[in-house]
Amino acid sequence: MRVVRSATDLRLEGSVGLVPTMGAFHEGHLSLFRAARAENDTVVVSLFLNAAQFGPGEDLERYPRDDERDARLAEQEGVDVLFAPAADEIYPPGFQTWVEVEELGSILEGEHRPGHFRAVATVCLKLFNLVHPDRAYFGQKDAQQAEVVKRMVGDLAVPVEIRVCPTQRDEDGLALSSRNAYLSAEERERALALPRALQAQDRSLLNGLKVDYFEVANFEPRVLAAAVRVGGTRLIDNVILEGDNR
């Protein structure tokens, strides 16, 4: 596996699959690497902690980072190129162009994290323009993110196919997330209410947690999506609604 710091050194061959990430890899990330590996000649994983998509007071400073472990895991999964650009390659001096997915980007997560999806859509378009992937891979765990990216790609005729892969969960049902590392044992136990409430479609199971939203979203596929706070940690999850399973 090559670790590449600048897009000028990418030199990719054949069909290219891109998996955009912010690092701190877990089985959710690895499942995307495998999906990309199965469908493309060359697999590129981007590792870029996109500060712009964190709001003031969010967890940017404490977001888990372990570049060496990430490189080792990516290599084990057969990733060809780990693309870890510097911040000023993504946002060059004088940067002032942003992609706004107006409606989809302002509901649910967007309502609670103003500016989040504008930064997500912008970094994804930038990565697509640097890497020129044939396919890009996203997790159903972040259903609204996948929907925003699909909308942007359709609206702006970006020549990339978007693949959305199933949510990976721990044995106890909690969706894997880099942010699970923040949870104490006691908080993790309380966090299990999130997958349980979604599975049962019963908001009352979240009593005692601070709920940002628990709502059906008319995405493709339709989901019941929720965000909760457990102590100082904000968690999101969703389930695909019956009859919409692909």
In b/e form, how buried is each residue of 181-219, taking b as 16+ CB within 10 angstroms? ebbeeeebebbebbbebbeeeeeebbeebebbbbeebeb
Q: Is 138 in the site for ligand AMP (CB under 6 A)?
A: yes
φ, ψ (nearest 5 deg) of residue 223:
-135, 160
Give residue 45's Cα distance to chain centre.
13
- Quote the least distance from Cβ 85 to ligand AMP, whole Å: 15
> Which one, of 142, 165, 163, 124, lies nearest residue 238 by Cα?
142
Q: Is 26 an annotated catalytic residue?
A: no
Contacts of ligand AMP in 176-205 (CB under 6 A): 176-178
Rule CB under 6 A: say whether 53 interacts with ligand AMP: no
Rounded CA gap, 222 and 240, in Å? 6
Site string for ligand AMP, 14-43 (x = CB under 6 A): -------xx-----xx-xx-----------
Query: Token pair for residue 242?
Result: 């019956």
Check binding of 148 to ligand AMP (CB under 6 A). no
Of 93-101, 160-168, 186-194, 196-204, the window that binds ligand AMP (rule: CB under 6 A) is 160-168
**Of the candidates 45, 217, 231, the residue with the CA atom closest to the CA atom of residue 145:** 217
Q: Which is nearer to ligand AMP, 96 or 212 (CB)?
A: 212
Q: Does 133 bind ligand AMP (CB under 6 A)?
A: no
Contacting residues toward ligand AMP, per CB under 6 A: 21-22, 28-29, 31-32, 138-139, 141-142, 165, 167-168, 175-178
Query: Annotated catalytic sites, by residue?
Result: 29
